[in-house]
Each structure stands twice: as structure tokens, then as C-alpha cells.
Structure 1
């Protein structure tokens, strides 16, 4: 989330700097024209201003698109966080935006739920639904691929959810000597999920079904002492300043 806010600042700084830079560069080139070409120099200055305006409009369009995507993503994570909040009353510990280091790359886990001997990593993907399609809110999952309205398929989201769970499993084994079964879960706020066999390597559910799924689907694999160790380690990750600069 911190990276998202930083990206917004860079977008708006770019709106100021990019057009100004283009104008100054073009004006500097045109200034080498002889004084006798004063009329041409004026036209060139106007051309530089027009180019700068065009660059600024293009940057604004790209910036607003990026801004709307970031806003949508942050909204989706907030919706999921609110849905998971009730699990705390059931004795679960819930973590959001858990910072991680994988090799030289920094990343985060959108949500991690720990309790009753279970560890679950939840990846949230917020995607716009197609307009004018009564079935456009439905996503199908057969345990291997996601199928979107119109027949498009994807697996990247599933692979990311699995990688995140694998990272946390290795981290807990290395740092806490806890060999935990970490369940990867993928959710798409606002979408209805068709299918999703229980034996699938990644669980895909609608965000409103998260709490019920976590309570019913996964079997305990950790003792209370191991569960407490996992919670302590996640607390350390979330307060470790070395991990602060992550998305």
C-alpha cells in the first residue's frame, strides 16, 4: 500500500515535470536559430508549447488510468480486510499487507489469517467487470485455470497466490522451525465464483465467502504453540523497518 501511494506522487510530479522538460528542451534547440529567423523562432516556440501540451495530456491520461487502477486495487483490499475482521472474534489473528523479501525483490502478502492450527495467505485481485453482460460478474474455476466472461482464461493469479504461500511456508520453517501447511486463497471482490473444487491447489472464492470458507475448509495442522510462533513471526515482519519499502 505504501508503494501505491508513492506511485501516485510520482504520477502527479510527472504531470508537472514532463511537459516542462519537453518545452525547455525544444525551446533550447530552437533558440540556436539566427536572429534573422525571429518569425520562425516564434513559430517554433509555439510548436514547443504545443508539443509540451500534448505530452502533458498524454501523461495525464496515463496517470489517471494508473490512479483509477490503484484506487480500485486499494478499495478491493479494504473490502476484503473488512470481511476478515469478524474472524478476530473467532480467535484468529489477521494481518494485512505483510512485507516480505524474496531474493532481491520486495513484495507483500495482501492478507494472512492464522488461528486454530491453520495458516492462510489471501491474495486479492480487483478486476473491472464487463459492461452490458448479465453474466459478466461470474468467474469460473476448474481447479487449474480461471475462465472469465467471454472465454478468456488466466493462471497468473493462481501462480502468484501459490508463490506467496510457498514463500511464507519456507520463511516459517527457516525462522521458526515450524513446518506449516500454508493454504493459498485467491479472491476477486465483487465477482461470483463458479466451481472451485476443494482439492484444488489454490482455493478461489468470492470475498463474501472468505470467512465461512476459512472456518470450514482447512483442517488444523499446527499445535497451539506452533500457531503462537507463527503469529509472533508475522508481528515481527509487520514491524520490521527493513521491510518497510514494499507495496
Structure 2
């Protein structure tokens, strides 16, 4: 028994102690330094980036738990412990870690391609920036306990363009001329035969929310707000007139002269309000990250569906076969 304790202490305790000392040293050095800025504008895909980082951290914890429990079970058995006790150490906790690892890791692939799609659209929109046009990304919104993010908002000379980005995969065998998404009968139609109304409803809700907010900000003025749905990498067609525009990212520039310009004071009010909404206070973000670390044990003990939900829905995968990219 005494030999087993020494084995545990050497092979498990020493690495953990070294890791703890290194982490404490790094935290001490970091606490003595200060960054030269405390805030920034939200970049495109910021919420998805944060969700990817959170899930990656959770996966690291689960992998560490799997490794430690496996090592403990093996050492216990090899040093003369009972086989049954080794199973108790090596099966229940690793099984929970493996299940949680799968649930946390599986959506990361979708979040990554969704983030990339938002960055592609964001880069296209940033090219429109001038004295009369401003671009805002990943603006947080809330209604009661419900929270979400609007991918992009373009402050045009005449009002607001609310842009929702959807990143949809397609099968590798689909020819380039067939990669066309159509807006028809108030629904989005894909070449594989699938249809979608949720995306249209989502961007319309976002536009209505901003229409209400813009009126409140400007003292009751009716500010034009145009909802736009875009699918980067796809060709798009509109076969009916609709308030909601289905456009490729490059086509959004066509809307900049859609209406007569606003009064300059109204435009500045919208600019200031949107700027306030899009600012990230980095000190508050760090505090939230520390709180998340303290709550990790509670989060890991809950089923994935009851944990903290991501700000955005997962990107759609309209591939009819697993060969989709």
C-alpha cells in the first residue's frame, strides 16, 4: 500500500504540482502587466470565436480528466490493487468525460465554418466604409432572458441595412452552375431540394427590432431599415419582390443609394448608438472569463442542453450526403 502511494505521488502528484507552479507563475507575471487599450469594436464572427474558445477549453479539461483517471486506474492495478477497484476508477468518470467531450467538440466544426462565413461577409462590407457609411459587426441584442447577435449592420446615408449571414455547405459533386439559392414563395430554396423559412423570419425580426430602436433613438423618426440575407460562396436569385433582400455579399453595395439621405444629426445619433452597442470592454470580458472558469465544474456536471447557450445558432448544413464540404 505504501508503495502504491509513492507511485501515485510521483507519477500524478509531481506533474500536477509542476503544472500548478507554472500556471501560478504565468498568472503572477500577467497580473503585473497592463495592455495599452481597454476596449475595441466587435469584429465579424466575434461571438462564434468566443464560443469556439469556450468549447475548446472544455475539451481540454475533459481530455485531462480522461488522462488522469486512466493513469490512476492503471497505476492502481499494476501496483497490486484489485481489478474491480481499478474498473471503478477507470470507467465511470472517464465515460462522463468522454460523453461531455463529444458534446462539446461536435459543434466546433460548424461554428468554425460559420465564423469564416461571417468574416468573409464582414471583409466585403468593410470595403464600403467611408465618411457616409459605417459598418458594425456582431451586435449583441436581448429581449428579456433571450440573447442573440446580429451579424452585421450597415449604417448607410439613408438608414440601416441589417445583414444576416448563413453559411451553408454543398456536396463536392455539385457543379458550380448549380450552386444557386433562390428566394421564391417566401422561402429559401436550395438545389438539393431543401427549403428554409427560418432565416427569412430571423432577419426580419432583427430588422424590426432595429427599426423600433432607431425610432426611439431619434425621437420617433421613421428610419428606413432593409433586411438582407446573404450566403457567401453561393449564387443567389430573387424570383419575387420582397422587403427582405437575398443578395451576394458584393451586391450589398447596390443598396447604399436606395433612399434619400437622412439629416446629418439623425445619422450621427445612429452612429453613436451603434458604436456604443458594438464596443467590447475587455476588462469586463476578462472578469467573465474568470467567472466561467470558476463555474466550469458546475457546467460540466450539467447536460449540454442546460448549459450556457451560444449567442448564435449553428450554421446550416444543407448537404444531402456526408460528402458535403
TM-score band, normalised by the shorter chain? 0.7 to 0.9
User: Secondary structure of the equivalent of 1:80?
Assistant: helix
Match of 2:156 in 1: 115
1:180 to 220, 223, 234: 223
SS in 1 for 2:142: strand
Task: Find the partner of 1:80 among 116, 121, 134.
Answer: 121
TM-score after normalising by structure 1: 0.78
Tell me, what secondary structure is at the counterpart of 2:205?
helix
Contact 2:52–2:112 (8 Å) recurs in 1: no
For the 8 Å contact 2:46–2:138, the answer to whether it is kept is no
Q: Secondary structure at the match of 1:88?
A: coil
Comparing 88-97 with 66-75, which one deviates more in the overlay?
A: 88-97
Query: Which SS does the other structure have where 2:173 is aligned?
Result: coil
Equivalence map 1:123-162=2 (5 Å): 123-134=164-175, 136-142=178-184, 144-162=186-204
Q: Does 1:193 align with 2:233?
A: no
More displaced 10-residue stretch of structure 1: 6-15 or 65-74: 6-15
Q: Does 1:4 align with 2:48?
A: yes
Task: Return the alpha-carbon distance in structure 1 between the equivalents of residues 252 and 170 of structure 2.
Answer: 20
State how far apart, in whole Å, the 1-side matches of 2:170 and 2:152 are. 23
CA 188–89 in structure 1, closer or farther in 2 if over 3 Å, else same: same
1:91 aligned residue (107, 127, 132): 132
CA 103–222 in structure 1, closer or farther in 2 if over 3 Å, else same:
farther
Say what the alpha-carbon RMSD is for the aligned residues: 3.5
Instruction: Specify the alignment match of 2:296 in structure 1.
Output: none
Is residue 143–residue 202 contact of structure 1 (8 Å, CA) maintained in 2? Answer: no
Name which of structure 1's ranges 63-72 and 201-210 shifts more when overlaid on structure 2: 63-72
What's 1:34 paired with? Answer: none
Which residue of structure 2 lines up, in the alignment, with residue 68 of structure 1? 109
Q: How many residues are treated as equivalent by the alignment?
A: 233
Q: For structure 2, which runs of at least 5 residues remain unmatched after alignment?
A: 1-44, 289-309, 312-325
Is 1:230 the counterpart of 2:270 in the alignment? yes
Q: Deviation of residue 82 (structure 1)? A: 1.4
What secondary structure, in the 3-state scheme, does the structure 1 residue paired with 2:148 have? Answer: strand
**Which of 127, 145, 161 in structure 2 is aligned with 1:104?**
145
**Where does structure 1 lack aligned partners over 5 or more consecutive residues?**
32-36
Using the TM superposition, name which of 152-161 and 130-139 deviates more. 130-139
